[in-house]
Homo-oligomer: A and B are copies of this chain.
Amino acid sequence: MQPVSIYCQSIEVSLRTGPDIADITTALEQLIGESRIETGQLCATMVGSTGSITTIEYEPGVVEDLKQAITSLAPPGREYEHEKAWHDGNGHSHVQAALLGPSIALAVRNGSLKTGTWQQVVAVNHDNHPRKRVIEVTVTGLAG
């Protein structure tokens, strides 16, 4: 039986004031190439409590629609308990990120992500200022 191997790496992406959404699919595909893993899974985790990861069809309309929905979940204008102690104005960012969740698990098949044709993996910055976000990636599986 062929042994299972594991490949760990991180990617960085610069994001504007939240909610901002970046397509990280190409960066993940590159890591899979480096890993030489053909069949298995990829887990990606946002480092930091004001970011999240999900998938969408990365076209400008959906991106805008998702930004609005995220803002509605926890609008910046409300009163947040977090502000009373910290005064950093990002109470909404923490709530939004916790609701979306920091991680994703994807299938790797034939050395590539097995996602839909119009399904891209995205990193979301919810913070109230631009952030360079780090995503930790772990690929587990069998080499070709």
Give the residue of B5, B85, B86, B120 whose beta carbon is less than 8 angstroms from that of A1: B5
| Chain A interface residue count, Cβ-Cβ cutoff 8 angstroms | 66
For window 93-144 of A, CB contacts with B under 8 Å fall at 94-95, 97-109, 114-116, 118-120, 122, 136-138, 140-142
Q: Are B64 and A81 neighbours in the complex by a CB distance under 8 Å?
A: yes
Residues of chain B within 8 A (CB-CB) of A40 are 6, 8, 138, 140
Copies in the complex: 3
Q: Which residue of B lies closest to A70 (CB)?
A: B99
Residues of chain B within 8 A (CB-CB) of A69 are 73-74, 95, 98-99
A102 to chain B, nearest CB (A): 5
Q: Are B39 and A49 neighbours in the complex by a CB distance under 8 Å?
A: no
Residue A57 is within 8 A (CB to CB) of chain B in the complex: yes
Residues of chain B within 8 A (CB-CB) of A86 are 59, 61
Q: Are A57 and B49 neighbours in the complex by a CB distance under 8 Å?
A: yes
The residues of A with any CB-CB pair to B shorter than 8 Å are: 1, 3-6, 8, 39-41, 43-45, 47-49, 54-57, 59-62, 64-66, 69-70, 73-74, 80-86, 91, 94-95, 97-109, 114-116, 118-120, 122, 136-138, 140-142
Additional pairs, 10, CB under 8 Å, beyond known A55-B97, A105-B138, A138-B141? A40-B140, A48-B116, A49-B57, A59-B82, A62-B81, A65-B94, A102-B104, A103-B104, A103-B105, A108-B138
